[in-house]
Structures are given as structure tokens and as C-alpha cells.
Chains A and B, each alone.
Chain A
Amino acid sequence: MNDRDAFRARARAWLQSVAPVYGFHARKGLSTADDLALARRYMAEKYDAGFAGINWPVEMGGQGLGHIEKVIFEEEEMPFDMPTSYFAISLGMPVPIMIRFGQGGQGEHRDWVRERVVKALRGEEIWCQLFSEPAAGSDLAGLRTRAEVDGNGWKLNGQKLWTSYAQYADYGVIVARNDPNVVKHKGLTYFWVDMRAPGVDVRPIKLADGSSHVNEVFFDDVRLEDSQRLSPVGGGFGVAMTTLMIERYTATDSAGFGPPLDVFVEHVKPLVLNGRPALEDGRVRSAIARNHAMRAGLDSITRRAMLMMQAGMEPGPEGSLNKLVSVRSRQKLSELALDLAGQAGLALDRHGSAHEDWTKSWLSAPTGRIAGGADEMLLNTIAEKILGLPQDYRPDKGVPFNQIPA
């Protein structure tokens, strides 16, 4: 057994040992508050077991291992449905950005950042990412929240939208416009913000599936010190792009974060369709086969990327296909699963999980196709960055932000 296999075995053994306390069955039916409390205990236990911040530097509270070990752990962790979602954004983007840009030019904030990192890893503190706005989603650089010079610091005014877990967040990272007189992506600056500061107002938004993990966040004359600035003035867009590019390869899920295909097959097996076993119906068989072929391809892409990383090579850009292809097909497969169930497909299990319940998977699928890059933006990215096709016609190009036609 090589080191990585040993790591995987160790991770799996630990996950199995704590799954009865934190896994899918333990969580079923919990209120959000209770689930979050459980989640914080899980993170603390994970930290103590040495599986937190796997590829982060030891001096910042991490384990100092490679990216590959991080992905291995995530692969092992995913099937247990552990309560990690509250921390996914926090540990995925804002906290790594704090490690990279938040320690100060002379490292004067290093101890403070280290304390934040450890508390974030232990689930004691949560960071959110304040990017999207009512008028700036896919077009992030069109954002309007203002950061104006205020004495030796800054004053923040505006509104953010779709901010995941902001209602539980202690801190956030935010991009705001410091100069509307230059082209739109040049007038942005990147800060961290204390979510408990006066003038910050978080209001949860109820989504179509009944969940409320996203929020709108209002900033009304919120004071920022200049030491909270994480980019050069006007250099915020670059740091925001770094945020989005931090890890191209995380553990992916060819099921599109919905139920695996064997759950579909088991769902179909007892069903009858027009007097015949549903599994004998050509339409059903075709759907199973095509989904299997697609998911197997995505899995193979992921495995090849892992092998390339292990061999010290840079994985190809095809890993960017996963979310696009898997989530939209999960949406259709979930519709099909409900149709096949007949009248039973009308019922809703309010405690169902999108990882195993077709109704929940279907209800939450639209979010998956929009959050973190809408399908259309992902297609643009593939076309432009991988295939070298031209950008769309952009009337805002080269125009100062305050002169862009509304």
C-alpha cells in the first residue's frame, strides 16, 4: 500500500467511526439549528483527528499535505453526507484568501489570521463570500456596492445577494466599487468585513425548495479599516478571480450532487409501467444507459486528473465539464424518477435529502445550474478559454462604469 492508499484507508476508517454520530441517518429530521450545532462538533472532531486544512500550511493550522490528499479525503467523505455544507464556502474560498492576502505586508496580522483559520477549521467561525448583487451575478464586475474613502479607512454602502450562509457568518470577504469613473473591473477593491459590525443587515431568502441558506446582505455606512483591504485599491477584480480559481479540482460528483444512478435503478425496479415492469421499458433503459455513460465519462475524467496530479502533471481543462453536465442531467433524471413513480410522485418528504430523494433533488436542481457559474457562463468559459472562440459582443467594453448604458 502506498502512502496515498494508506491515507485513504485511514480517512475511511475515521469517517466510518464517526458516521453514526454525524452521518446521513444521524442528521435526518434535525432542525437547521440542531444540524448546524452537530456540524460544528463534527468539524472540531475532524480537526482533532488531523483531517482539517489537509493541504494548508502547518504554520497556519493546516496539515501540510498535498492537494491530492485533500481530494482523496473529500471523495471518501462525500458518500457519508456529513454536515459540511455550512463550511464549504468558508473554507473553500474566503479563508484561503485570508491566508494568502490577509497577513499584511510585514506579516503583522499573521497571528490574527492564524487564529481565524483554526476557528474556521474547527467550525467555530464561518466566513461568507459577498460577491453577487441584484444587478451583478454572472457579470460580477458590474457590481454597485460602494467603498468610499472615509478618513484613514473606508465606508461601505450597498447590497449583496445570494450570499450563502451569511446568516451564520462571523466574517465575510467582499468586493466593492471604489471608483465608478474607470472601466468596470478596474474600479473594484477587495476587503474583509466583520459581519457583526454596525450597519450590516442579513436577511435570509427562501428558495424554491424551501431551504434558506442564501441571503441578501445590506451595508449601511459600515466602517472598514484600511487594514481590512486585501487588494490594491482598484485591484479587487484580480483577487476575486484568484478566489474563483483557487482549486480547479475539488472532489467532484458525477451525480450532480443528486442521487447516484444505482438509487435510480433501485427506485425503478419495483415500478410497473403500462402493465409491464418499468425496467423493461425502452425509454427507461435508454435513460439509465445514457446517464451511466455520461457519469462514467465524468468519473473517468476525474480519475485521470487524479493520476495526473499524482504524477506531477497539470490536469486538463476537461474537469470544468463536471458541474455543467452532471447537474443539468440530474435535473432531468429527477423529473423522470418522479414521472415513473406515478401518483406516488406527488408526495414530498420534507426531511428528504437531495442526495437520495428524487423530489428534493428535483426541487433544488435549478440552484445547482445557476450557483457558482450558470450553465451559460460555463459554456462561454469552455468556448473562450479552452477552444479560443471570441468573447460575446460587449457594449460595456472599455467604457467607464458610470457611462455604461443601463
Chain B
Amino acid sequence: MSILYDEGQQAIANESRRVLEARCSTDRMLGLLDRVGEYDAPFRETAVEQGWTALAIPEAFGGLGLGLVELGLVAQASGEKVAGAPFLGVGHAAAAAIEMQGTDALKAEWLGRIAAGTALGTIAFAEGTEILPALPETTFADGRLHGAKHGVTGGGKADFAIVWASCDGAPCLVLTGLGDAVVTPIDSYDNTRCHADLAFAGAPAVLLAQGRDARRLAMELLARVAVVLAHEQLGGAEALLFTARDYALTRRAFGQPIGAFQSVKHRIAEMYGLVEIARANAIHAAASVGTPGFLLAAADARLSATEAYDTCARDCVQIHGGIGATWEQGLHLHMRRARSLAIEAGSTFFWEDVLVGELTGEAA
């Protein structure tokens, strides 16, 4: 896969940006901050209508048969608008798990519905401070799941989850419908991500992978989420870069635009550098899926995207001064999203270790 977008990919980028520009609303997003367990319904409807839910699903199951590059472009456009539904990344990972490891029956049960937008999937790996504990406390035995998963992205709205569990003293990945789980939405600073705690007390589940295969698959899924999130983070960072630039051009102090002061213009130039490095890594990672270097590329993309979005959120608010810190102006939507995306699918601490492990061969 090339790291140069082709015409079709460019069209997806432009069209998704155009649609979201028309349909996203800062006021609506501000209102949703105080509503626990709700996503932005118009965004979700748009995603279904535009075929974004079907984008990376195989054509045999009603999908469009495209991949991570295209999904990344939609995620980037969504990130620009802090769009309010969390399923681009985790939904893709859940579908990919079924596609790679599921039986035909499982594929038939879920993939078509995911593509059509009538089912939502997520991944539930983390316990406590560990995004991927070596041996999770959640257990799978005799087709039943017991235990709890914390802070599951989209968990408050998902119909099923791919769960990281233990089975006979080894890790495993299972699929479970969430109808039998106790779902407790978390009141979060970024509520449209629908973070929730999940508790299982004998919920029926299907085994997808076990032991080393399970761990390999879990890393692959986390990497895919990380690459989608990296695009979302990139979109947010770039939007903040331009917001900061535009404000620095219009806001005047001491008789000139504040953008003429080097303390301000250099800050914005540094934002540009972070954004472009994040972009280059995100494109490369999306194009590397399926190659031996994917995990390393995903870690590069994840780390640089987190740094870019965090820094841009911090500095864009700073450049705005007092107005940037107001509720109404809405920059805090990005600030909040930068943090929630930085934590979902593994924080910088996790991905730094993944990267070094890949680089030094210690992971093998």
C-alpha cells in the first residue's frame, strides 16, 4: 500500500470533511458533555449513511472492502470536528477480530450488521492500570465469562465486545454479546466516548484465540485501534494548529497581531512540526497493515499523534488566552478529547514499551 493517497482516497478525505463540516455542532457537543452514556446521534447516523461503518468490512458481508488507510481518513476528518461517536477505532478492531478468527457463523451473525450500522462492537482488554494484562483476572471457562473490564471505549452502547480473558492459565480472546453483561457507564470528562465498566457473571462467550496466538491477535487489534486513533488525534491536532494560527492573525495586542511575536509564532510553528510528523507516521502505519513492520509503525504513529494532539491542545488554548479557557468557546472539547484518546488503546507508557520491544527484539 502506498503512502501517497490515490484519487479515491483523496475523495473520501474531502467528502467526509465536507459532510462533517455541515453536520457537526460545537453547541451540541458541549451539551453532550453533561450527559452520561450518550453519543452524538447525528454523527452516528452520518457514519451509517456515508458507509463509514461498512468501509473496512469485506464486500461479501455487505462492506466496501477498503482498509485502514480509508478508515484513517474518515477518522482524521472526525477528529478535526471532535466528532462524537467512539466506534471508528474499536468498532473496526472488533470487526477485524471476527474477520480474522471468527467462524463463518460468527461472521454471518455480526459483520453484515456492523456494516449496516445495526450493531456496534468494541474491545474490552484493560484491567486496572494494564491495557493488556499478562494474565487477566477475567476468566473464560465452559463457554462462560466471569470478571470485570474497566473503562471500555464505547462500552455503554456496544452490542458485543472482544474480551481479553484467561482460560486454563493462559490468555485468550473471546467474543461476548453485551446483553448479559452489567454495563455501568462512567461519568467522564469526554462523555460521548461512552466509556463504561463491564461486569460478566457467566455471560455466554465464544473463543477466538488462545495463548500466544491470542496475545498476538490482541496486539494486532490494539495496533489497529491505535492507528485509527492516531488519525483522529492528527485531525484534532491539525484543526487546533489552524485555529491557533487564525486567532494569532486576528487578535491584536501591543499594536500588532499576536502572531508577530516570536513567542507565539514559534509555538505555532512547533505545532506544525508535530502535526506533520504525526501525519507522516499515521499514513505510513495505515499503509503498513499486514506487513511485519506494522506494530512498530503503529507505535510510531500512536506516540507522535499523542504528542501532537496533547501539545496542540495545550498550546492552542494558551495562545487564545482567557477566551480559550471558556466553556462556550469550546477548545476544551479538544483538550478533553486529546486526553481520552491518549488513554484509550494504551497510553504513551504502553506504546513506548511496545516500540522498544519491537526495536530490540526483546518482544520475540
Contacts and interface: CB of A to CB of B under 8 A. Distances in A.
A169 B76 CA distance: 52
A382 B272 contact: yes
A157 interface: no
B260 A392 contact: yes
Contacts of B280: 296-298, 300-301, 304, 318
A318 B308 CA distance: 15
B268 A387 contact: yes
Nearest to B256: A393
Question: Which interface residue of B272, B279, B299 has the most chain A CB atoms within 10 A?
Answer: B272
Contacts of A321: 272-273, 276-277
B304 interface: yes
Given A318-B276, A387-B268, A285 B353 contact: yes
A233 B257 CA distance: 36
A73 B181 CA distance: 61
B360 interface: yes
Given A297-B300, A301-B277, A376-B262, A292 B272 contact: no
B11 interface: no
Contact of B260 (A304, A311, A391): A391
B266 A383 contact: yes
A379 B269 CA distance: 6
B137 interface: no
B277 A298 contact: yes
Contacts of B265: 379-380, 383-384, 387, 389-390
Given A279-B360, A307-B2, A379-B270, A293 B281 contact: yes
A350 interface: no
Count class of interface residues, chain B: 35 or more
B356 interface: yes
B356 A300 contact: no
Question: Which interface residue of A297, A307, A311 has the most chain B CB atoms within 10 A?
Answer: A297
B284 interface: yes
A197 interface: no
A389 B249 contact: yes
The A contact surface, by secondary structure, is: helix
B19 interface: no
Contacts of B299: 289, 293
Contacts of B301: 293
Contacts of B241: 387
A206 interface: no
Given A301-B277, A321-B277, A380-B262, A288 B300 contact: no
B24 interface: no
B352 A297 contact: no
B22 interface: no
B269 A383 contact: yes
Interface in B273-327: 273, 276-281, 283-284, 297, 299-301, 303-304, 307
A289 to B, nearest CB: 4
B300 A265 contact: no
Question: Which interface residue of A289, A303, A318, A386 has the most chain B CB atoms within 10 A?
Answer: A289
A289 B304 contact: no
Nearest to B273: A321
A265 B360 contact: yes
B268 A289 contact: no
Contacts of A390: 249, 256-257, 259-260, 265
11 contacts: A269-B360, A293-B277, A293-B303, A298-B277, A303-B3, A304-B283, A321-B272, A379-B262, A380-B262, A389-B260, A390-B265
Interface of B: 2-4, 241, 245, 248-249, 256-257, 259-262, 265-266, 268-270, 272-273, 276-281, 283-284, 297, 299-301, 303-304, 307, 349, 351-353, 355-356, 359-360, 362
Closest CB pairs A-B (n = 4): A297-B277, A300-B280, A289-B352, A383-B265
Given A282-B349, A293-B304, 13 more contacts: A285-B353, A288-B355, A288-B356, A289-B299, A289-B303, A293-B299, A294-B304, A296-B281, A297-B280, A297-B281, A301-B280, A383-B265, A387-B269
